[in-house]
Amino acid sequence: MIIFLKFLHYKKMFMLNKKRIISASQAILEATDQFMKKDSNLVLMGEGINDPKGIFGTTSNLSKKYSKNRVIESPISENGITGIAIGLAINNFKVLLIHQRVEFALLSIEQIFNNAAKSFYVTNGIHKVPLVIRMVIGRGWGQGPAHSQSLETVFSYVPGLKVLIPSSAYDAKGMLVSALRDPNPVLILEHRWFHYVTGNVPKKIYQSDITKPKIISKGKDITVVTSSYNVYEIIFCSEILKKFNINLEIIDLRVLRPLNTKPIIQSVKKTRKLIIFETGNKIYGIGAEIIASILEKYHDVFDFPPSRIGLPDSPTPSTRGLAKVYYPNSIDIMKAIIKQLNVNVEVKKKIISLLISKLPSHEIDVPNPNFKGPF
């Protein structure tokens, strides 16, 4: 009997510690499926949600499980479908609208900015708009200037919208659930390559916090704020720097609007150095907003001018020849980090050579094979 009880105890402990590793795209599919099962008022809409690839697998087979009234393969009429989605949301439905590329949402900016974002405000809190819009951002082979932009700051400009940018498989599910439970519009920006990242994702339905950034690695030497797929570039650099006793404090931004800078300010007060690595353009980017917010309150908090890494001021090129100089690579990022640190030339050289030795040889404009996780 005692042996049997011990067995049950260890089995329980094992089950509690057992991690369930799935990809971010599987996590999104699971969250959507679980929520649709639970809430019959949730309607899914989007262009290509029923095609064989199912938006990176995030909508695969949902049309087989649920009725055509709930999984709506929409026509190429973004402003129209967004208007319908807002109308449904005001009338006691929840809508999950998906744009396979963020650029498709540009055709519905008027609906998003003027109706979704402001209905609650202009009706004195009467009309809630429980609408979630998922949009895919970021680079990918051959996507070029009009299909690979990272326009998260465009949407972050508008009061009334919540703008999320998950980086992990755990948040992929948890943030989507939180967004679907929010009574007003929430936009989720997903980097194309983030869908392949894996991590521990509980089977049960759960929520992630959508109010603030998260410190994913504690460090004393410099604060690095980043988001989405870029988190993995910074983790990669961080692992190398640890060998030289340099510790980065890595902050995953997660929530672009409302922007909560408190954890960043607390970190910067400790490290007195800051780098922001964003997925979008450096000019008019989220980095500018963060630095300005800090300096408005704490003008003497930095020992070194804060810096930003982002995309250069030109449209995204399609050709690989230019893509390799357009996107900041691990070496660019590492150089920007060590520029702020008090490191001598020899150590700098050693850091860069170690970094180069760890770089995988893979085609440009495809995900780094080392960034699949689990994280």
Partner 1 sequence: MKLKKWLNDDPIENFLKYLKKKKQYDKKKIEVIKNEIAVEIKKSFDFAINDNFPEVSSLQKNVYAQ
Q: Output 144 or 373, the one with its CB closest to partner 1.
A: 144
- Among candidates 241, 228, 245, which has minimal Cα distance to 165? 228
| CA 84 – CA 290 distance, rounded (Å) | 35
Using CB under 8 A as the binding rule, the residues of this chain from 134 to 193 that contact partner 1 are none
147 annotated active-site:
yes
Q: Output 13 or 76, the one with its CB closest to partner 1.
A: 76
Q: Output 258 or 315, the one with its CB closest to partner 1.
A: 315
| CA 222 – CA 219 distance, rounded (Å) | 7
By CB under 8 A, residue 364 contacts partner 1: no
CB of 277 to partner 1, least distance (A): 20
State the pairing for strand pair 214-217/248-252: antiparallel
CB neighbours (10 Å) of residue 168? 28
By CB under 8 A, residue 77 contacts partner 1: no
CB of 331 to partner 1, least distance (A): 16
Cβ distance 82 to 106 under 8 Å?
no
Rule CB under 8 A: choose which of 326, 348, 354, 372 binds partner 1: 326
| CA 362 – CA 347 distance, rounded (Å) | 27
CB of 150 to partner 1, least distance (A): 17
78 annotated active-site:
yes
CB of 323 to partner 1, least distance (A): 10
CB of 116 to partner 1, least distance (A): 32
Sheet with 186-191, edge to edge strand ranges: 71-73, 42-46, 94-99, 131-137, 186-191, 162-164, 255-257
Using CB under 8 A as the binding rule, the residues of this chain from 266 to 325 that contact partner 1 are 312-315, 317, 319-322, 325
Size of the site for partner 1 (CB under 8 A): 12
Catalytic residue selected from 99, 147, 191, 195: 147
Residues listed for the chain: 375
| CA 176 – CA 157 distance, rounded (Å) | 21
| CA 259 – CA 256 distance, rounded (Å) | 5
By CB under 8 A, residue 363 contacts partner 1: no
Instruction: Write the binding mask 18 to 57 for partner 1: x where contact by CB under 8 A, - elsewhere.
Output: ----------------------------------x-----
**Catalytically active residues, by annotation:** 78, 147
Binding residues vs partner 1 (CB under 8 A): 52, 312-315, 317, 319-322, 325-326
